[in-house]
Amino acid sequence: MKSTLHNGRMQISAKADYAVRALAELAADAGRPLTCEAIATSQDIPFRFLKGVFRDLRQAGLVRSQRGCEGGYWLARDPAEVTLADIVLAVDGAFLTLRGERLDDLGYHGPAAGLPGVWRGMEDHVRRVLTSTALSDLVRERLAA
């Protein structure tokens, strides 16, 4: 989840948000393939952007696709085995970045020298939340509502 601090708020990347929402659609209707167009319409996601997101998800082995009249996208794994962390890492490559830099690469001097440790602690917390939440948890919440 590429996150930035903007006006004091942490932001989640559009790619991460769209990817999780798209896979939630697939998990909720696992009996048949869904087209990118149908998912984009259902989730109000720009179609062209979503196509790129699906390319990343396919390369990460989270979805499989089939062309043709009966084509579309399916989850490649059971929704209980796909965590939000898997999805975020597939599209963003990291949980958090600071101005595009990975947190491991940060090094501050003087009084701010301890700040990278704070950012890494925040990243650890985000990692724990995302790794403990499966795609099936999202679908279950929706069905229970």
Rg (CA), the chain: 17
| 105 secondary structure, DSSP code | G
Predicted pLDDT at 140: 80
- Answer left, alpha or beta for residue 7, where phi above 0 means left and psi between -120 and 50 means alpha: left
Domain chopping of the chain, boundaries: 14-140
Phi, psi of 2 (to 5 degrees): -65, 115
**Residue bearing tokens 């696709």:** 65
> Looking at the domain covering 14-140, what would its CATH class be?
mainly alpha
Per-block mean pLDDT, blocks of 10 residues, the chain (145 long): 54 92 92 92 95 96 85 92 96 82 81 89 90 91 56
| 29 secondary structure, DSSP code | T
Helix (H) or strand (E) holding 115, with range, is helix 115-131
Predicted pLDDT at 10: 67
Predicted pLDDT at 7: 47
Predicted pLDDT at 2: 56
